[in-house]
Amino acid sequence: MKCNSCEREDVFSVSRNIVVTEYRNVHTDGKKAHKSGGGWNNYKTGGWKVEEKTPTDKMYLRCNACESEVLVENLKGIGEIKIDDKKGVVFVSNMFESYSGKEYAEKRKYKRRSTDS
Ligand SMILES: [Zn+2]
């Protein structure tokens, strides 16, 4: 498959959004040494720590070369992009779009002729 934006081939990946919960301990003992101007209770030593990473339901196909998201409406003849976090990706074809314009016109012409007689 070729990217519509940058024309590179076979450079796709699935991205998913993850909610990360972090925490950082803060002084609440009211001591002057643990406060700064404006009444701020300062943080204890140590930076932010990761507590939890929760994947969201949002997964999407994107081009790894130009980082643009692949939208189903930009894929010819495809009605749906199915993504599974273990199996991979399925492109479900759209029957109504799989006829080229010419084929569709010919079928309609044939139908019209048969009803005329
Ligand atoms: Zn691209």
Q: How far apart are the C-alpha atoms of 93 and 22, rounded to whole Å?
A: 42
| Residue 58: pLDDT over 50 | yes
**What's the CA-to-centroid distance between 14 and ligand 1, angstroms?**
13
| Residue 111: pLDDT over 90 | no
Report the predicted TM-score, pTM, of the whole model to 2 decimal places: 0.59
| Pairing of β 49-63 and β 12-23 | antiparallel
**Predicted pLDDT at 30:** 94
Closest Cα to residue 14, out of 51, 63, 73? 63
**What's the CA-to-centroid distance between 62 and ligand 1, angstroms?**
8
